[in-house]
Amino acid sequence: MAEDDEEAHVFVGDEVMLIIEKVCKACLAEQGFSHGKIGQWTATIVENCLKELSALNKPFKYVVTTTLTQKTGASVQTATSQYWDLQNDNYVAYKYENDQMQALTTVFGISI
């Protein structure tokens, strides 16, 4: 397998992190918490992340999740567990927050 082919099958976390950060900031920057907009914001973040990830043209299936919560002083805890190819598959999580809300977006990349 050529070196370029090998690199195409590797999940590059830094590259994916930049995409998540860009999408979250574009969607949530300067927004105050609004319960009525949560569904719209989560859909926008997930859809735009998937759109940007597919533009990478890498042989991966992606799973994108996002959780938005109002900042009330309570904590948010998540956990994940995977059974996959440790050489190629991976995930990254990005936390966006402003003074009124926080969003945790996770992208799983599974090589195909």
Domain tally, the chain: 1
pLDDT tens per residue, range 58-93: 999 999 999 999 999 888 888 999 998 888 899 999
* Contact between residue 31 and residue 68 where contact means Cβ atoms under 8 Å apart: no
pLDDT given at position 76: 85
At 99, the amino acid letter reads D
| pLDDT at residue number 1 | 47
Indicate if the pLDDT at residue 17 is higher than 50. yes
Q: Which pLDDT tens digit goes with each residue over 19-48?
A: 999 999 999 998 999 999 999 999 999 999
Instruction: State which residues form the domain around 7.
Output: 3-111
pLDDT of res. 38? 96
Tell me, what's the pLDDT at 75?
85
| Neighbouring-strand partners of residue 95 | 104
Q: Is the pLDDT of residue 8 over 80?
A: no
Q: What is the CATH number of the domain that holds 39?
A: 3.30.1140.40
The 3-state secondary structure of the chain reads CCHHHHHHCCCCHHHHHHHHHHHHHHHHCCCCCCHHHHHHHHHHHHHHHHHHHHCCCCCEEEEEEEEEEECCCCCCCCCCCCCCCCCCCEEEEEEEECCCEEEEEEEEEEEC
